[in-house]
Chain A
Amino acid sequence: MAILHTVNKSPFERNTLDSCLGMAKKGGSVLLIEDGIYAAMQGTAVAEKVAGALEKFSIYVLGPDLKARGMAEERVIGGIKVVDYHGFVDLTADHDCVQAWL
C-alpha cells in the first residue's frame, strides 16, 4: 500500500518527523506542510537526517507554507520537491491513503 505521510509540526519542537521517518516504508512519500516545512531547509540541525531520508522516500514540501514563513525555495534541500495545493491533491489521489502525523 502506498502511503502519503504528512508532517505538520516543526522538527525542532516535536518528534513527529522522527516518528514518521521511522515508520514510513521505502518507496513511500512524505509531504511537509505547515510548521513541518522547516525540516525542508538547508543548513539546519536536522538537514542531514532529512537529506538521508531522501534515499528511502520521496519528500515534498508545500510551497504556500514556505512562502508564508519566509522560507525561500532556493534554500530547500536539493531533491525535495516543492508542490502547490494542486500538487497536494495529486499526491493524495496518487496514494492509497494519507497518514497525517499530528
Chain B
Amino acid sequence: MAEPWEEDEAAGEIKKFMYMNRKAPYGTIYALESLEVVLIGAAFDQDVSLVFADDGVYEIVKNQSTDEIGMKNFSPTYRALEAYDVEKLYVLDTSLEERGLTEDDLLVDVEVVDAERLGELMEEQDVILSF
C-alpha cells in the first residue's frame, strides 16, 4: 500500500482549466498569447478545455497563409494540441453561423455547442482564463 505522501504525488491535484478565446488571430496578440499559455499549462497535466467563441473561431480556420503579412502562422500548432492531451475543443454554434462558417472550415476536430451548454461547462471549471 502506498504511503499517503506517495499517493498525493501520484494523484497530484488536477484542476479544470478553461481557455476562452474570443479574438481573431493576427490583428491583436491575444490569440497567440492564449496558445502559448495553453502549451505551458499542458506540461502540468491538468484537465484543459478550449473554447472558441465570437471572433475566436477565426483562430482555427483552415488554410491560413501569412507569408505576405510578415507574421508567424501559428495555426498549425492547434493541430498539435492533441499530442499534449488537450482534446476538449468547443466552438459556439452561433459564432460559426454569424461568420458564414461551418465545421468543414476548421483545421481541428471540435464539438460545436450552444451558449447554454457552454455556460454549463463554464460552471464546471476551477479556473477560466479569458483571451
Q: Does A9 contact B (CB under 8 A)?
A: yes
**A43 CB contacts on chain B under 8 angstroms:** 99-100
Complexed CA–CA distance, A63 and B69 (Å): 10
Q: Does B39 contact A (CB under 8 A)?
A: no
Footprint of B on A, CB under 8 Å? 8-10, 12-13, 34-35, 38, 41-45, 47, 63-65, 67-72, 75, 85
Q: Does B19 contact A (CB under 8 A)?
A: no
Footprint of A on B, CB under 8 Å? 23-28, 54-55, 58, 61-69, 71, 73, 75, 97-100, 105
Residues A69 and B99 in contact in the complex (CB < 8 Å), given A12-B54, A35-B26, A38-B24: no
Complexed CA–CA distance, A69 and B65 (Å): 7
A38 and B99 form a contact (CB under 8 A) = yes
**A69 CB contacts on chain B under 8 angstroms:** 24-26, 58, 61, 64
Shortest C-beta distance, A65 to chain B (Å), equals 6
A72 and B69 form a contact (CB under 8 A) = no
A68 and B73 form a contact (CB under 8 A) = yes
Residues A44 and B54 in contact in the complex (CB < 8 Å), given A68-B66, A70-B62: no
Residues A10 and B64 in contact in the complex (CB < 8 Å), given A38-B99, A42-B100, A65-B69: no
A45 and B64 form a contact (CB under 8 A) = no
Complexed CA–CA distance, A63 and B66 (Å): 11
Residues A10 and B55 in contact in the complex (CB < 8 Å), given A34-B26, A69-B26: yes
Complexed CA–CA distance, A41 and B67 (Å): 21
A12 and B55 form a contact (CB under 8 A) = yes
Residues A38 and B73 in contact in the complex (CB < 8 Å), given A10-B27, A67-B65: no
**A13 CB contacts on chain B under 8 angstroms:** 23-24, 54-55
Q: Name which residue of chain A comes closest to B102, CB basis.
A: A43
**B25 CB contacts on chain A under 8 angstroms:** 69
Q: Name which residue of chain A comes closest to B23, CB basis.
A: A13
Residues A68 and B65 in contact in the complex (CB < 8 Å), given A13-B55, A34-B27, A35-B24: yes
Residue of A8, A9, A42, A70 touching B65 (CB-CB under 8 A): A70
A72 and B24 form a contact (CB under 8 A) = no
